[in-house]
A and B are shown apart, each in its own frame.
Chain A
Amino acid sequence: MPSSPATPAEHRSAVVDLIRDAIAELNEELDYDHLRDVSETTVIFDGDEALDSLSLVSLIVDIEARVEESFDTEVVLASEKAMSMANSPYRNVGSLVEFVLGEMSAA
């Protein structure tokens, strides 16, 4: 089991990579153009070019499992704001990274 990176910046970077890997694996199935080159502004769940709810759930479930495997930290990525577009932590990669980091520090 790899240990958590030493600095906050490295820790954040590891979470970004983890989410990027999860999206890449999901997109092997979906083959969406906008998910090919993932950055922190890549939209996940925010209107027309976003994931449908089935794919979003698959992605979040996968990220929970990856966080546990990579960081040995158990998180539940449930949010009251999940489906409200404006404040959803799932609206783009950057907001999801912050959400995951917040849940990891609270765990």
Chain B
Amino acid sequence: MTRTVVITGTRKGIGRYLSERYLAAGWTVYGCSRDESDLAHERYRHFAIDVADERGVAGMLRAVRREARTLDALINNAGIASMNAAVLTPMATVERIFRTNVFGTFLLCREAAKLMIPKRAGRIVNFATVATPLRLEGEAVYAASKAAVENFTQVFARELGGYNITVNAIGPTPVDTDLIRGVADDKMERLIARQCLPRMGKMEDVGNAVDFFLKPESDFVTGQVVYLGGVF
């Protein structure tokens, strides 16, 4: 029987990559982003929603319940960043980043858990960032929003442990996507130099870590944040 996963932020970047990866592996994928997607596949269904919109998220997960009857995994990939000195950051930017990264992650987790709790099984993978442990200057708001995601991940792991649902997070290094397109080359080089494994991350690196959290044998792994590239 095909397994079902909800992936957020699937129109491009890592979310698009993960959608194609799990479709190729035989999963049914429910994806979402603010805009429509051109990903066409018989086992892919797209929802054009804002992850921070409660009604939109609840509606999407209800569609999953009606159509798939079950949900095996949630990958909370959707995220936005903004490079700026904290002193020069407008409040509107702070709100926008927290809405998508924190409120969106929370809403997806809450609604997905409602499908997982009755069957006492499920996997949730949230997205953190190496910017949090590195305390990256110029990324204060983004890093803080992902710090919130990390802590939420660990508390939620405790709350859902009794239902056999695991909740973990992956903290990618910079990967060549729109998220880092505005970062200057010299800044990127300095950032990568702080990794034990000093290279740019690849989509496959992220896919491999997500695979680990989703594989059946990982049912004893929860509340963990795995940073790629040797960052701690």
Contact = CB atoms under 8 A, between A and B. Distances in A.
Contacts of B59: 74
A68 B162 CA distance: 26
Given A54-B163, A76-B54, A61 B117 contact: yes
A53 B161 CA distance: 12
A65 interface: yes
Contacts, number: 23
B118 A62 contact: yes
> For the complex, would chain A's binding face be called helix, strand, loop or mixed by DSSP majority?
helix
Contacts of B110: 78
A64 B114 contact: yes
Nearest to A61: B114
B118 A58 contact: yes
Contact of B58 (A62, A65, A74): A74
**Is the interface on chain A under 10, 10 to 19, 20 to 34, or 35 or more residues?**
10 to 19
A58 B62 contact: no
Contacts of B163: 54, 58
B65 interface: yes
Contacts of B113: 61
Contact of A74 (B62, B117, B118, B162): B62
Interface string A42-80: 000000000001100110011011001000001010100
A25 to B, nearest CB: 10
Contacts of A78: 110
A61 B118 contact: yes
Contacts of A58: 117-118, 163
A57 B58 contact: no
B114 to A, nearest CB: 5
A63 B114 CA distance: 11
Interface in B159-181: 159, 162-163
Given A54-B162, A58-B118, A62-B118, 17 more contacts: A53-B159, A54-B163, A57-B117, A58-B117, A58-B163, A61-B114, A61-B117, A61-B118, A64-B114, A65-B65, A65-B114, A65-B118, A68-B62, A74-B58, A74-B59, A76-B58, A78-B110
23 contacts: A53-B159, A54-B162, A54-B163, A57-B117, A58-B117, A58-B118, A58-B163, A61-B113, A61-B114, A61-B117, A61-B118, A62-B118, A64-B114, A65-B65, A65-B114, A65-B118, A68-B62, A74-B58, A74-B59, A74-B62, A76-B54, A76-B58, A78-B110
Interface of B: 54, 58-59, 62, 65, 110, 113-114, 117-118, 159, 162-163
